[in-house]
Amino acid sequence: MDHFANTAVWRAKTQVSLLNGRLYHGYDWYSNHRNKERREINGIMLNVHSVNWIEIEGYYTRGNKDGIIVEAKIAPLGKQHSNAFVISRLTDDPASRLAFRVTLKDGKGVQKVLYLKSPQNSLEAIFKANSLVDWLDGATLDTLKTRCRRHICINLKNIAVAEDLKLFLGGAYILDDGFTVQENTIYCKAHKSRQQ
């Protein structure tokens, strides 16, 4: 099987696992106290599809040794998900169709289901969610690079990148006017996810 066939198989498996519920183990997310001994665990941090970081406050990895299930829930075209992770003011942004349904255990070992919300609808969160929804709907990198208000991140270790995609090595945003800006040059606030 050649590289492109392997990529297509990987892509299909990843899409199905995100839509049906993918197992994550996550990391403990600590407070930013300067004294390491005084840091506290605030919750769990997960990296969904390499660029969508979500933080789950008040839950801990020690209580979730079996892992955490994250499902990407997508509302139909033209509809906003009632538990959308981010909400865009623009009706043609697919970000509002995306919800993250998380199944995990609380400190007492009781299974809980949460829908996570971004407390700030930053451009960073909206652009990344737009791209994730498009990708789950079947869009390729060649399609995504032609759409405004998107984020594409290609691993820096990937040496087999087409010339027209090299700008996206390490991550870049495609702005409203179609200009592409490298990830570290756009102002996008970091944000914490909160449960609903």
- What is the tens place of the pLDDT at every residue in 70-106? 999 999 999 999 999 998 889 889 999 999 999 999 8
Q: What is the dihedral of CA 14, 15, 19, 23, to 10 degrees?
A: 10
Structure tokens at 126: 């909206």
Q: What is the dihedral of CA 153, 50, 157, 189, to 10 degrees?
A: 50
Domain boundaries, the chain: 3-195
| pLDDT tens-digit map of 101-150 | 999 998 888 999 999 987 667 888 899 999 999 999 999 999 999 999 99
Query: Rounded to the nearest 5°, which phi and psi values hold at 144?
Result: -60, -40
Euclidean distance between CA atoms 114 and 123, whole angstroms: 24
* Percent of the chain scoring above 90 in pLDDT: 46
The predicted pLDDT at position 85 comes to 92
pTM to 2 decimal places: 0.83
